[in-house]
Amino acid sequence: MTVRTLRVGLIGYPVEHSLSPVMQQAAFDALGIPARYELWPTLPAELAERVAGLRRPDALGANVTVPHKTQVLALVDEVSPLARRAGAVNTIVNRAGRLYGDNTDVPGFLAPLKARGHDFAQTDAVILGAGGAARAVAVALAGAGCRGVLVANRTPERGAALARELGAPLTAAALDARLAGPLARAALLVNATAIGWNGEALPLDPALLDSLPPGSLVYDLTYRRTPLLRAAEARGLATLDGFAMLVQQGVAAFRLWTGQEPPAELMRAAAQAARAQHS
């Protein structure tokens, strides 16, 4: 009997840099699941048709990345409460032709912090950016019980709108020299902007890093050693890139698609090897 190959992939633009195909394929192969994880570069005008194709019987679902996480909310049949609050879907599951949207970025972001034993109740955090990634981080930190979460954005109105919508403990400020005061009280600084994926630009004036207390952690969602992380390390600060988050959100997505417990360590090792090849 011929075994039907199931399809799952990454919807976004661009997607060529992604480590998800190697990571997820390793898990499917290890568990003997006949599925192929593919890259699906998708322009905004193609998004509705791409998502509709996930209703086919051979489609398990998809991951969703920039710039489509927000737009996908309106294209699926059901959305988890977490994805609704985060305002973004990064995982779609085909449930017999009905599409379910969830957000695994939120637990994925928190996982490495929990592994470090981070004390959220004693944490004042500063998030750089006010886009979709920043919103997921804000939802995660507020849900984890952070004492204060400040959204800093170059367009202060965007940060203020996000803080108003999500409510306490969120506040907002401009991403400028006045951020020195809040940073002096921060135990956690998170870069949720796209600055750092390429080039040598930093999302803030590096001199502001001098305001952080010695025990602070600088967390960049980009899974490379960004200029921000290098500047933080030079000042003796603890750093964390987005690699562990990538793996943990992928583990959670695999569970949603298959209902099975994935080989998390194998997925991490596969992604690590692929990252080493690309660096």
SS3 of residue 53 by DSSP = helix
The residue from 69, 85, 118, 135 that is catalytic is: 69
- Residue 152, C-beta contacts closer than 8 angstroms, at least 6 positions apart: 126, 127, 128, 129, 159, 172, 173, 174, 175, 179, 182, 204
75 to 38, 68, 124, 144, 201: CA distances (angstroms): 20, 11, 36, 29, 35
Q: Are strands 170-174 and 148-153 parallel, antiparallel or unpaired?
A: parallel
- Which structure tokens are listed for 253? 């997505």
Active site residue 114: no
**Three-state secondary structure readout of 198-262:** CCCCCCCCHHHHHHCCCCCEEEECCCCCCHHHHHHHHCCCEEECCHHHHHHHHHHHHHHHHCCCC
Task: List b or e across 144-159, with b for residues whose CB sees 16 or more CB atoms inside 10 angstroms.
Answer: bebebbbbbbeebebb
- Which structure tokens are listed for 115? 């592994």
246 to 19, 80, 205, 276: CA distances (angstroms): 9, 20, 27, 15
Q: How far apart are CA 85 and CA 92, in angstroms?
A: 16
Given 3-state DSSP classes, what are the helix, strand and coil percentages for the chain, each rounded to the nearest 5?
A: 45, 20, 35
Q: Note down pLDDT in tens along the chain; length 279 residues.
A: 556 899 999 999 999 989 999 999 999 999 999 999 999 999 999 999 999 999 999 999 999 998 999 999 999 999 999 999 999 999 999 999 999 999 999 999 999 999 999 999 999 999 999 988 899 999 999 999 999 999 999 999 999 999 999 998 999 999 999 999 999 999 999 999 988 877 788 999 999 999 999 999 999 999 889 999 999 999 999 999 999 999 999 999 999 999 999 999 999 999 999 998 876
pLDDT at residue 277, rounded to an integer? 84
Q: How far does Cα 149 stand from its chain's mean position? A: 17
DSSP string, 104-173: -HHHHHHHHHHHTT--GGG-EEEEE--SHHHHHHHHHHHHTT-SEEEEEESSHHHHHHHHHHH-TTEEEE
pLDDT at residue 34, rounded to an integer? 97
Confidence (pTM): 0.91
